[in-house]
């Protein structure tokens, strides 16, 4: 029996934060190392063009994300690691999916509503059709599993709908993918703990390559709640609950154990320990990332060879699709 296929991607839009890590990247590495899946991980550069950018900056962000992937533990010997735009089948199949998707389905997407609200003057059509491209990314490879954070579930649901719709109309072609969530599928901002941690609000993010000093300063400033108890209570104690979850996900200690450990201790002791934990946890990552970024050659080679491999699979699928819908001569 061949292994089930698993795919996921991240947009190259700047430094990764601990939400990206605990919701997605940490799990990518664990799933890869479990040996249970045939894994594809890509850099979603086409998706990232929906937000403002400069060409020089984009180029840097792509290589930075490649360094993040490798420094965190993704391994080109175990997974196919590639750049989305190098595999032209993604954009091609996305177009076909757009013609099968209703405007209403796209306009209902939370991410579209939030982003178009923020960028009122410059709402580009790509922001709207984004989920059709994401469906293409997934369905091209017959992926059965997609590890993502909670904010991507709605998009994944559209991919499932499109797979069903296409199969029903044109015959069995696509696999319906299922999400894989982590125990921290929605890490909250450390300054606004009722909002999710997001790159658009950098002050609320802990970045993976923040220095120990930055981590310490940010965590000591993190918003906590009135009272002094270190206890999980997301409704009443959103700030401390978020920090507890981060602590638990990185240390592997269950939350009840942590609550016990910190009984009678105050917020500042807890925060000091958490800052130390975060700084230590990412120390190897920081070193590896720096080293990988000294030369771009290695990262470029990984992306080129991964993209060539992915193209073979994706092109085969687009041929099949064209045949099924009657546009092949």
Is 138 a binding residue for ligand TRP by CB under 6 A? The answer is: yes
Residues 6+ apart with CB under 8 A from 35: none
Distance CA 218, CA 221 (A): 5
Helical segments of 146-230, H only: 153-170, 212-221
Residues between 22 and 81 that touch ligand TRP (CB under 6 A): 44, 47
Write down the least CB distance from residue 34 to ligand AMP, Å: 18
Is 187 a binding residue for ligand AMP by CB under 6 A? The answer is: yes
CA-closest candidate to residue 14, choices 154, 156, 209 = 209
Catalytic residue among 38, 199, 288, 309: 199
* Residue among 93, 148, 238, 243 that touches ligand TRP (CB under 6 A): 148
**190 touches which of ligand TRP, ligand AMP, none (CB within 5 to 8 A by kind)?**
none
**179 touches which of ligand TRP, ligand AMP, none (CB within 5 to 8 A by kind)?**
none
CA distances for 47 relative to 70, 84, 90, 150, 266, angstroms: 21, 9, 11, 18, 43
Q: Which two tokens stand for residue 150?
A: 């909670």
Distance CA 151, CA 137 (A): 17
Is 152 a binding residue for ligand TRP by CB under 6 A? The answer is: yes
Write down the least CB distance from residue 329 to ligand TRP, Å: 31
Strand arrangement, sheet containing 178-180 = 79-83, 38-43, 5-10, 145-147, 178-180
Catalytic residue among 196, 218, 231, 237: 196
Instruction: Note if 196 is an active site residue.
Output: yes
E-assigned strand segments in 119-242: 145-147, 178-180
* Residue among 6, 7, 19, 321 that touches ligand AMP (CB under 6 A): 19
Write down the least CB distance from residue 131 to ligand TRP, Å: 8
Write down the least CB distance from residue 217 to ligand TRP, Å: 28
Options 1-9, 74-82, 244-252, 273-281: segment touching ligand TRP (CB under 6 A): 1-9
Burial 12-37, CB ≥16 within 10 A → b, else e: bbbbbbbbbbbbbbbbbbebbeeeeb
Calculated CA dihedral for residues 282, 287, 293, 295, nearest 10 degrees? -150
DSSP class of residue 82 equals: E
Residues between 188 and 217 that touch ligand AMP (CB under 6 A): 196-197
Write down the least CB distance from residue 104 to ligand AMP, Å: 24
**186 touches which of ligand AMP, ligand TRP, none (CB within 5 to 8 A by kind)?**
ligand AMP
* Residue among 76, 131, 149, 204 that touches ligand AMP (CB under 6 A): 149
CA angle 270, 27, 43 (to 5 degrees): 115
Which secondary structure element, helix H or strand E, spans residue 55, and what is its range?
helix 55-72
Instruction: Note if 115 is an active site residue.
Output: yes
Active site residues: 115, 196, 199
The residue ranges that bind ligand AMP (CB under 6 A) are: 10-11, 19-20, 23-24, 148-149, 151-152, 185-187, 196-197
């Amino acid at each position: 029996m061949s292994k089930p296929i698993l795919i996921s991607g991240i947009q190259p839009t700047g430094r990764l934060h601990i939400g990206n890590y605990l919701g997605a990247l940490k799990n990518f590495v664990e799933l890869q190392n479990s040996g249970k899946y045939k894994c594809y991980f890509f850099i979603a550069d086409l998706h990232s063009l929906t937000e403002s950018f400069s060409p020089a900056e984009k180029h840097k962000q792509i290589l930075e994300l490649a360094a993040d992937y490798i420094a965190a533990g993704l391994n080109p010997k175990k997974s196919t690691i590639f750049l989305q735009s190098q595999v032209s089948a993604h954009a091609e199949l996305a177009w076909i999916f757009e013609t099968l998707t209703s405007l209403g389905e796209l306009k209902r997407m939370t991410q579209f509503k939030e982003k178009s609200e923020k960028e009122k003057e410059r709402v580009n059509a790509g922001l709207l059709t984004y989920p059709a491209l994401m469906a293409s990314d997934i369905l091209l490879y017959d992926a059965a599993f997609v590890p993502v954070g909670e904010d991507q579930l709605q998009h994944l649901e559209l991919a499932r709908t499109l797979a069903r719709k296409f199969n029903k109309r044109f015959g069995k072609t696509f696999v319906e993918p299922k999400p894989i969530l982590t125990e921290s599928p929605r890490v909250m901002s450390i300054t606004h703990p009722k909002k999710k941690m997001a790159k658009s609000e950098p002050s609320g993010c802990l970045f993976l390559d923040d220095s120990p000093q930055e981590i310490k300063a940010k965590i000591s400033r993190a918003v906590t709640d009135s009272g002094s108890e270190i206890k999980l209570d997301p409704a009443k104690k959103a700030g401390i609950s978020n920090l507890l979850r981060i602590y638990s996900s990185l240390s592997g200690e269950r939350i009840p154990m942590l609550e016990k450990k910190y009984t009678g201790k105050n917020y500042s002791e807890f925060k000091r320990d958490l800052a130390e934990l975060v700084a230590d946890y990412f120390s190897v990552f920081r070193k590896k990332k720096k080293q990988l970024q000294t030369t771009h050659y290695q990262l470029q080679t990984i992306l080129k060879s991964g993209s060539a491999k992915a193209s073979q699979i994706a092109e085969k699928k687009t041929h099949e699709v064209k045949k099924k819908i009657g546009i092949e001569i």
